[in-house]
Amino acid sequence: MRIVLDAMGSDKFPQPDLEGGLLAAREYGVDITFVGDEAVLQPALAALDTTGLKFEVVHAPEMLTMEDKGMALALKAKRKNARNSMAVGIDLVKSGQAQAFVTAGNTGAAAATAYFRLGTLPGIDRPALAPAFPTRHGTCVVLDVGANPDVKPENLLQFAIMGSLYAERVRRVSRPRVGLLSNGEEAGKGNQLVRGAYPLLAASGLNFIGNVEGKELLGGEADVVVTDGFTGNIMLKTAEAVAKMITEVMREKIMTASPLVKLGGALVRPALRSLRQLLDPSEEGAAPLLGINGLIFIGHGRSDALAIKNAIRVARQAAEAGVVASIRDAMAQAPA
Amino acid sequence: MRIVLDAMGSDKFPQPDLEGGLLAAREYGVDITFVGDEAVLQPALAALDTTGLKFEVVHAPEMLTMEDKGMALALKAKRKNARNSMAVGIDLVKSGQAQAFVTAGNTGAAAATAYFRLGTLPGIDRPALAPAFPTRHGTCVVLDVGANPDVKPENLLQFAIMGSLYAERVRRVSRPRVGLLSNGEEAGKGNQLVRGAYPLLAASGLNFIGNVEGKELLGGEADVVVTDGFTGNIMLKTAEAVAKMITEVMREKIMTASPLVKLGGALVRPALRSLRQLLDPSEEGAAPLLGINGLIFIGHGRSDALAIKNAIRVARQAAEAGVVASIRDAMAQAPA
């Protein structure tokens, strides 16, 4: 098992990326290939303890950043002899030298590079970014959260098939419950897209539970929730912003109150640590870009070493579970 | 100033509706007209202290419920001699006998009844439900959150004009900052709808600050945020669900922990009461349905007397500020 890590990915690269990769090599016994500028990576690696760890460095002198977008990005993503770390890393997956590619870099750049270099699986028109969303009782796979702002009902059906397989194979959920994100639970609620997708999902043979709203999603009533990338992205970011606002306002209120309230704050803190973990995206590390002909995981730019390590863990699970092959098989059997 | 209250609106009608109406009559000196089934209202009113309060009861023997939807609802909303409390109440606004109508009943039923009986203002194609969303520094008017799941860029421009006027006149914000909800801050981000609306807003003469995400919205960077009713509804409900989940999990974790942690919980509780208020929709009471030729406020079904009282307060402010006339004037001056 070899996993390629974009060592130029996170906001504070290469430190969190390298440390996370080495942690994963130590803990999970996977072989790691770091891709990036050797002039940056070698000195940083020299300062770390790498005794007994299996890793290699592949030189990629360029990198894609948040500035890369639109047509210019598409050209960089496509170029045959691209020398940026994402393209070089993804080519290692394409040639079969590695089983998955992990990056904490620009999501759009990673998605475009994966799309142009690996392509989508037969029957999949668009890939979908599928993170695990925290719920009352664990997590729920939500897709798409950003790869496609405008989709058709058939795309949501494809997302549902992929998300369901991912939940089953990687997250070990049997007969995953698939919900359709809508502005009301009853059938018939929704925008044109949702009303068009509903009958396709109902006829799909998946364990479709109908429309869901934020309440049901967070209540853990679905294992997979499908939506367009625009709505999914807004939902995800709103949830993060609300959680952040609540915890910040709470801290503020406690810290500016009487000494007795501060004491109370100190007493409850340990009990609330696990709440923080519940809301912390670094637990999952990264989200798969499903539908691509190869395993791609994309993490937050603000990933730390722990998040990178967790991303590699999830990528390894997905590789072992044969996610790409199972989506290919499912689409081959699906009615056109 | 006379305000009509649907006394059959809230989930626990008529108690919260009547009590809230009487509280408002006492506190704000407004005349209240309760609309509903006299056989239900009169005994309930007889049990309450109404000394010195100005109110009247208008009989409406029928009511619209959550079961009323689709074509059947449209017919009930349109019918000339409709006898349900929403239609009777809204007709009092139409005839000029009252300045605003407030209900905690079915949102779709209220919106349809208002639309068919009062119509929209010239230049407004679709009304928009515009609640105040809590932020770090107060609130932000978000519209639409449910009246229109599918809209066009021009509708978002109309929402922006209405929301901006509402923020200015009722919420006393000068030159309200108007944001466009999107899946990224940069211009060019968004789905087709958002990318189409962006240039219209930029050329509108409004104080347009560009695309905003959940972070900016909750950070209080905009006074008005426009979006389609599908996305807005999902954002609103996700935010509510996240806030509820966090506070519930927190309570659970504290209550199942050691006595010392429980003591800490008791000590911080008073400091966190104001956080609860921040997240409590009853503070605002109800949201205006802007764009209708008359003032309509729609509140949560779970409104209590306090929420009903606050809804009447906001409705009175909007009536005093001449919101309907100012939207009419603005649309008459807007380029077609």
Quick check: A146 and B213 CB within 8 A?
A: no
Structure tokens at A26: 């130590």
User: What is the count of residue pairs from A and B with beta carbons less than 8 Å apart?
Assistant: 183
Question: Are A56 and A168 members of one domain?
Answer: no
User: Is there a domain that residue B307 lies in?
Assistant: yes
User: Is there a domain that residue B38 lies in?
Assistant: yes
- CA angle, A272 then A273 then A276, to 5°: 95
Contact B230, B147 (CB under 8 A): no
Residue % of chain B over a pLDDT of 90 = 78
Quick check: B149 and A217 CB within 8 A?
A: no
A interface mutation test: which of B129, B150, B195, B245 has the most A CBs within 10 A? B245
* Distance of alpha carbon A39 from alpha carbon A59, whole angstroms: 9
Q: Work out the minimum CA distance from B267 to partner chain A, whole angstroms.
A: 5
Would you call B281 an interface residue with chain A, using a CB distance cutoff of 8 Å? no
Name the residue in chain A with its Cα closest to that of B262: A268
Between the alpha carbon of residue B65 and those of residues B3, B10, B118, B136, the distances in Å are: 22, 10, 20, 35
B interface mutation test: which of A140, A142, A230, A278 has the most B CBs within 10 A? A230
A interface mutation test: which of B151, B155, B183 has the most A CBs within 10 A? B183
- CA angle, A179 then A181 then A187, to 5°: 75
Ramachandran region, residue B286 (left: φ > 0; alpha: ψ -120 to 50; beta: rest): beta
Quick check: B254 and A264 CB within 8 A?
A: no
Across the interface, which of A183, A246, A275 has its CB nearest the CB of B146?
A183
Total domains, chain B: 3
* Distance of alpha carbon A115 from alpha carbon A74, whole angstroms: 10
Question: Are B219 and B138 members of one domain?
Answer: yes
The series of mean pLDDT values per 10 residues for chain B, 336 residues long, is 96 97 96 97 95 95 89 90 96 98 95 96 96 91 93 97 97 96 93 98 97 95 98 94 88 87 87 72 82 97 94 96 96 76
Question: Are A309 and A186 members of one domain?
Answer: no
What's the pLDDT score for residue A285?
Answer: 82
Name the residue in chain A with its Cα closest to that of B244: A215
Characterize B256-271 residue by residue with b for buried, 16 or more Cβ atoms within 10 angstroms of its Cβ, and e for exposed. ebeeebbebbebbeeb
Contacts of B218 in chain A (CB under 8 A): 238, 241-242, 244-245
Quick check: B254 and A274 CB within 8 A?
A: no
Neighbouring CB atoms inside 10 A of A51's CB total 6
**What's chain A's average pLDDT?**
93
Question: Are A124 and A21 members of one domain?
Answer: yes
- Which domain does A243 fall in, by range? 132-280
B residues 183..242 contacting A (CB < 8 A): 183-184, 188, 190-192, 194, 213-215, 217-219, 228-231, 233-235, 237-242
* Distance of alpha carbon B223 from alpha carbon B221, whole angstroms: 7
β-pair type (B100-103, B295-299) = parallel
Question: Are A182 and A234 members of one domain?
Answer: yes
Question: Are A252 and A141 members of one domain?
Answer: yes
Would you call B71 an interface residue with chain A, using a CB distance cutoff of 8 Å? no
User: Is there a domain that residue B336 lies in?
Assistant: no
User: Is there a domain that residue B292 lies in?
Assistant: yes
Contact A311, A104 (CB under 8 A): yes
Which CATH number covers residue B13? 3.40.718.10
Contacts of B228 in chain A (CB under 8 A): 191
Residue A145 in this model has a pLDDT that exceeds 60: yes
A283 pLDDT tier (thresholds 50, 70, 90): low
Where does chain B show beta strands of DSSP type E? 2-6, 31-36, 55-59, 100-103, 128-129, 132-135, 138-143, 177-181, 207-212, 224-226, 286-290, 295-299
A residues 136..155 contacting B (CB < 8 A): 136, 146, 149-150
Q: Work out the minimum CA distance from A289 to partner chain B, whole angstroms.
A: 17
Structure tokens at A214: 């934020």
Taken in order B110, B113, B118, B123, is the CA torsion positive or negative?
positive
Question: Are A109 and A208 members of one domain?
Answer: no
Over the stretch A235-269, which tens digit does the pLDDT of each residue have?
A: 999 998 998 888 888 888 888 888 988 888 888 88
Structure tokens at B12: 């626990």
**What is the average per-residue pLDDT within A114-143?**
94
Question: Are B12 and B119 members of one domain?
Answer: yes
**What is the average per-residue pLDDT within A10-32?**
96
A336 pLDDT tier (thresholds 50, 70, 90): low
Would you call B325 an interface residue with chain A, using a CB distance cutoff of 8 Å? no
Question: Are A268 and A140 members of one domain?
Answer: yes
Contacts of B234 in chain A (CB under 8 A): 181-183, 213-214, 231, 234-235
User: Is there a domain that residue A336 lies in?
Assistant: no
**What is the average per-residue pLDDT within A265-288?**
78
The phi, psi pair for A29, rounded to 5°, reads 65, 20
Predicted structure pTM score: 0.93
What's the pLDDT score for residue B283?
Answer: 66
Contacts of B109 in chain A (CB under 8 A): none
Among A102, A100, A5, smallest CA distance to A60 is for: A5
Among A291, A231, A280, smallest CA distance to A132 is for: A280
User: Is there a domain that residue B25 lies in?
Assistant: yes
Helix H or strand E segment including B205: none
Residue indicated by tokens 């406690």 = A254
Quick check: A271 and B249 CB within 8 A?
A: no
Q: Work out the minimum CA distance from B130 to partner chain A, whole angstroms.
A: 16
A22 pLDDT tier (thresholds 50, 70, 90): very high
Would you call A273 an interface residue with chain B, using a CB distance cutoff of 8 Å? no
Would you call A250 an interface residue with chain B, using a CB distance cutoff of 8 Å? yes
DSSP letter string over B162-176?
HHHHHHHHTS--SS-
Q: Is A282 exposed, middle or buried (0-12, 13-18, 19+ CB in 10 A)?
A: buried
Among A56, A59, A3, A60, smallest CA distance to A27 is for: A3
SS3 A17: helix
Question: Are B172 and B289 members of one domain?
Answer: no
Question: Are B98 and B112 members of one domain?
Answer: yes
What's the pLDDT score for residue B253?
Answer: 85
β-pair type (A100-103, A295-299) = parallel
Across the interface, which of A149, A219, A261 has its CB nearest the CB of B271?
A261
User: Is there a domain that residue B169 lies in?
Assistant: yes
Characterize B88-117 residue by residue with b for buried, 16 or more Cβ atoms within 10 angstroms of its Cβ, and e for exposed. bbbbbbbeeebbbbbbbbbbbbbbbbbbbb
* Distance of alpha carbon B329 from alpha carbon B122, whole angstroms: 10
A interface mutation test: which of B234, B263, B276, B278 has the most A CBs within 10 A? B234
Quick check: B237 and A230 CB within 8 A?
A: no
Which CATH number covers residue B174? 3.40.50.10750
A residues 303..322 contacting B (CB < 8 A): none
What's the pLDDT score for residue A70?
Answer: 83
The phi, psi pair for B267, rounded to 5°, reads -70, -35
User: Is there a domain that residue A189 lies in?
Assistant: yes
* Distance of alpha carbon B28 from alpha carbon B316, whole angstroms: 9
Contact A130, A233 (CB under 8 A): no
Residue indicated by tokens 């904490």 = A104
Quick check: A215 and B237 CB within 8 A?
A: yes
Query: In the sheet where A207-212 sits, what is the strand order?
Result: A132-135, A138-143, A224-226, A177-181, A207-212
Question: Are A56 and A32 members of one domain?
Answer: yes
Would you call B28 an interface residue with chain A, using a CB distance cutoff of 8 Å? no
